[in-house]
Amino acid sequence: MNRRSTMSSPKFLSLLLILLLFIPVNAQKPYDGPIPTYVQKDKKWIYRDRDGNRVFNREFDEAWFFNEGLAVVNQFGSYKYIDQKGELVINISYEKAGDFSEGLAAVKLPKTGYFYINKRGERVSEKEYQTLGKFKNGVGIGYRDIRYYLIDATGKEIAGPFDYVDGFTEGMSWFSINQQFGFVNTKGEIAIKPVYKNARSFIDGYAWVEKPDGTFCLIDLKGKEVTPAKNYVNPIRFPYQTKYLIEHTKEGSTVKSRDGKTLLKTKYKIIRWLQKDLFVYNDGKGGGEGMIDIKGKEVIKAGWTSIEESKGDFVIVQKNSKYGIYGPDGKEIIPPKYDFSWTTPVGTFMKEGNKYFLYLEKQKTLGKRVYHAMPDVPWQFTVPEGFGFVQALYLKFFIDADGNEYIVRDVYLENYKGPNGKIALKDAYTGDLYSDFVYDKVGIKGEEMLPVMKDGKWGFYSLETYKETVPFIYDEVDAYSFSHGLCPVKKNGKWGYIDKRGVTKIPFDFDEANTFNKGEAIVKIGKKKYIIDLQGKVLRQDNYYSDPWAERPEFNGNTLSGSYNLEYYHVIDSPYSIPVKGERSQELDEPVWIKVTQNSISTRYYHFTVESSGYHNGQRVYNLERNSGNNTYLMFVFFGNGEDRCAFMTRDGMVVYATAPMQFGK
Could you tell me the CATH number of the domain that includes residue 489?
Answer: 2.40.10
Residues 6+ apart with CB under 8 A from 421: none
* First CA to last CA distance, the chain: 98
Tell me the per-residue pLDDT of 110-162, one tens digit each, with 9 for 90 and over.
999 999 999 999 999 989 999 999 999 999 999 999 999 999 999 999 998 99
Length of the chain in terms of residues written: 666
> Is residue 109 situated within a structural domain?
no
Between CA 410 and CA 395 the distance in angstroms is 11
pLDDT value at position 429? 67
List, as one string, the DSSP characters of 251-277: SSEEEEETTS-EEEEESSEEEEEEETT
Give CA separation, 251 vs 133, 248, 270, in Å.
47, 8, 11
Both 522 and 469 in one domain: the answer is yes
Both 655 and 566 in one domain: the answer is yes
CB count in 10 Å sphere of residue 515: 18
Strands of the sheet with 253-257, listed across from one edge? 244-248, 253-257, 262-266
> Is residue 405 situated within a structural domain?
no
Query: Where does a domain end: 483, 505, 540?
Result: 540
Both 617 and 584 in one domain: the answer is yes
Both 560 and 658 in one domain: the answer is yes
> Is residue 79 situated within a structural domain?
no
pTM: 0.61
Tell me the per-residue pLDDT of 480-497, one tens digit each, with 9 for 90 and over.
789 999 999 999 999 999
Both 581 and 640 in one domain: the answer is yes
Between CA 366 and CA 543 the distance in angstroms is 55
Both 584 and 528 in one domain: the answer is no
Between CA 633 and CA 640 the distance in angstroms is 22
Residue type, 612: S
Low pLDDT (below 50) residues in the chain: 1-27, 543-666
Both 612 and 640 in one domain: the answer is yes
Element (H, E) at 92: strand 88-94
Give CA separation, 318 vs 287, 331, 338, 559, in Å.
13, 14, 9, 85
DSSP bridge pairs for 636: 648
Contact 657, 637 (CB under 8 A): no
Between CA 505 and CA 517 the distance in angstroms is 17
Both 529 and 564 in one domain: the answer is no
> Is residue 434 situated within a structural domain?
no
DSSP bridge pairs for 215: none
pLDDT value at position 573? 29
> Is residue 571 situated within a structural domain?
yes
List, as one string, the DSSP characters of 407-469: EE----EEEEE-TTS-EEEEETTT--BSS-S-BSEE---BTTEEEEEETTEEEEEETTTTEEE
Strands of the sheet with 449-454, listed across from one edge? 441-442, 449-454, 457-462, 467-474
Between CA 621 and CA 609 the distance in angstroms is 5
Both 508 and 465 in one domain: the answer is yes
Both 586 and 650 in one domain: the answer is yes
Q: What angle do CA 556, 561, 566 make, to 5 degrees?
A: 75
How many domains does the structure of the chain reveal?
2
Residues 6+ apart with CB under 8 A from 175: 148, 162, 163, 164, 165, 166, 181, 182, 183, 184, 194
> Is residue 268 situated within a structural domain?
no
| Percent of all residues in the chain with a pLDDT value above 90, rounded to a whole number | 56
pLDDT value at position 553? 34
Range of the domain at 510: 459-540
Closest CA to 333 of 311, 350, 354, 356: 350
DSSP bridge pairs for 494: 491
Determine the longest span between alpha carbons in the chain, in angstroms: 119
pLDDT value at position 15? 35
Both 591 and 653 in one domain: the answer is yes
Contact 598, 628 (CB under 8 A): no
> Is residue 324 situated within a structural domain?
no
pLDDT value at position 28? 61
List, as one string, the DSSP characters of 473-504: EESEE-TT--BTTBEEEEETTEEEEE-TTS-E
DSSP bridge pairs for 459: 452
> Is residue 516 situated within a structural domain?
yes
Query: Where does a domain end: 512, 540, 568?
Result: 540
Peptide bond just before 239 cis, omega within 30 deg: yes
Main-chain dihedrals φ then ψ at residue 347, nearest 5 degrees: 145, -165
pLDDT value at position 386? 87
Tell me the per-residue pLDDT of 253-305, one tens digit each, with 9 for 90 and over.
999 999 999 999 999 999 999 999 999 999 888 789 999 999 999 999 999 99
Both 590 and 642 in one domain: the answer is yes
3-state secondary structure of 182: strand
